[in-house]
Structure 1
Amino acid sequence: MSSPWSPRRELSPETSRLLIERAHEELVAGNDADARLRDVRALVRDSWRRSLDSFVGADALPPLDLTAEELEAYRRAHPLSAVIDMVRGLLLPGDASESGVAVAVGDAAGRLLWVEGDRRVRTLTGDMGFVEGANWSEDAVGTSAPGTAIALDRSVQIHGAEHFNRLVQPWSCTAAPVHDPETRRIVGVIDVTGGLEAITPQAQLLVDATARAIEGELLVARLRARAEPARPVKRTPARRVEPTRATLRVLGRDRALLEVTGEGIETVSELGPRHAELLLMLALHRQGLSAERLGELVYGEGEASPSVTLRAEMVRLRKVLERAAPALVPESRPYRLGIDVETDAHQVLSLLDRGAHRVALAAYRGDVLPDSTAPGVEEFRDTVRTALREALMAEASVDVLLAFADTDAAADDADLLRLCLSMLPPRSPKRAGLVARIERLESDA
């Protein structure tokens, strides 16, 4: 089947892109009385003002509200998980990887749960944070089709410069809310993002029809479930759910931060270099480590009596954790943590997997425990840095690559600079600086 997103006609915007951009700049600068604002669609103008009232940054990346594990669990429990195949069939028939658009399904709060469609479009939109788990509500990212559709409880089309966030202005999108078929409360949102093909009248009709079809399917499934005879439920003892969530922040810092949250808990503790290394190794090896192996990862093979040193340090670490996070006190034989500890380095890797290159780069605060010489830390440090470099060089836009080239991790990477140079247009003013940097690196080699 051919893609329904093939362009049918050229759109003529009500006002020029330049006028909208200037009106946007005036409003962001505080000039709410600028005459050009009268020529901007009322729907968009009102949304811009709501965005300002929510203190949304005009260049801010959307927050990533759900980690990979949280996203997977949340999607399984969400009512729209039962109709995701219907969404694909209606909006992405045929070869979805070459459809020309990205199709997203979000929840009632504007968080994207599924993002599928054209591979190239998803890569490019991922750079602005249009990825699974990101919050695209008006309060988080300003005017956009999914967030504004939820805010207004109606289908919406947002064209290019009408987006409040400048990072999103190269794109256009159409979105419609999905309602609970009985209560009529919003349960989610369907969005199509791409070029002009994403905001044709046909696009809005198709997205609206998809939302209504989903609501009908949800109602049919609910009525069918009520009609089925009740089955006896085998009851099992309730399993105690550990409310604590722990994050270890190790990027760009030698004294790691341990953040623990849960029911009535919210603590932040700074760990010394050795305790940071030990906790990081235990976080990376969730299955547990023998004393010998943990000693090798932290002290290396050249340490005299590493097992004795390790035992003494583990006693001190336990005392620190008993005060800051009792649920994290390590077990022994093998050494292991009672709950999973997420690291900010893993969050960067998760963002890369989702194609959120710009967000991943913003989250990369520097190398993992940069001054540590622990063999296990050095190996993980190289893994994260290599994964970041390879993902960006393979798929990121030139703007993201240039930003990466300005970090300490890539400042001396001649291959990266040459790639940036090859991607820039011939008359770009940035070329001269890149050429100078490459020549300097080559002369120093």
Structure 2
Amino acid sequence: MRQEHLEAAVPVGADPRRYARVLAQAHEAALSGARPPTAPRPVIGASWQRMRLLGLDPDHGRDDPPLPEAELEARRRGSGLADALPILRGGLISVAEEAAHIMVVVDGDARVLWRDGSAAVRHRADRLGFTEGASWHENRVGTNAIGTALVARRPMQVYSAEHYVRSHHAWTCAAAPLHDPRDGRLLGVVDLSGPAATVHASTLALVDAVARLAESQLRNAHLAELERLRAATLPALAKVDGRALVTDEHGWVAAVSGLAPVDRVTLPAGCGAGQAWLPAFGTCRLEPVPGGWLVRLAERDEGEPVPTTAVLDVRSPRECVLTVTGESGAWSYRLSPRHAEMLYVLARHRDGRSAAELALDLFGDPERTVTVRAEMSRLRRRLGGILARRPYRFADDIDVVFQQPDEPDLVLPHSTAPAIRGRG
């Protein structure tokens, strides 16, 4: 469950119009390189810095024509968001119409898939190019609630001159990310946008609450799929000699035989039938079943192949991946933002970190060891012998390779961890 602090764009008790003027002064100072009279919120300041590094035009952004209708329809079908759309519409459209807003749903590439709400605001959005098929990525339209939420991986409200591109200063937006419960993949964002004068502190909380309901709907649909897979494969599983389990295509376990229950296993990249090495179980044999895999566990062999190289790829702010290779092949594990931070720190400290040191690295507080131990336990269940403990570290015989952006500010841009942002 998400635990983010929802930070409103306008400070409590501040007059929105007066605060918009303060933001405009800070924006102009930031663009000119002068010292701003008031510093923007850290998440906004970090986004402005990324835009300056990209050389984005603060007056017009970067032109990017909307998708053709056929491609837009294909993206809608493949987005994974269609099942969540009724809840998003049911929770937000009436509010959008009454509050002079529009509801916008974008995919993980920040392409606008659906747009509903106030007709008058839709017309204003048309003039801005904020239409179905348009890209609302930071690198196209600058700092905005949609694109910045995709990078920061958290709910965002952006008001007036917090937008990097000046033509967006007349707007206020509140957006919350939507994740796939099967693999944690960031599916996209749901957003409420409207004239800046309509800004309200409760908008962000509403959007985030509806996004959580939509994710719950996706989670329930996934649980129903697992139950159908379990019912369909139990007869075949009952005939298997030895230890075995049935998973869906994402590694979620529907049923087990001969071993303790487990929620999920990490499957190889490009999973196919035949022998494979799984972090939690070692050498296994995978056999396809409708909707997933029958995984037969081999008896443990002290001489079985072990992984030799781990590639930590944090080049994309949307998707950080750990790829492990060895004699038995390769597999990839998509990392959550927190797990990406932890592995980044461990890769930088090959001699290891204690729970207190990791807590200081990640939170600036050495007392938060309970959180660190819980997350490391989850990681070690997924990654098996890749990680060692006492202290926490990559196993000594693993060669760790980094793939990261050249600019430090673009490394895990969602992160506020002191060890990553250069404060630890």
Structure showing greater radius of gyration is 1
TM-score bin, normalised by smaller chain: 0.3 to 0.5
Calculate the TM-score normalised by the size of structure 1: 0.46
Calculate the TM-score normalised by the size of structure 2: 0.48
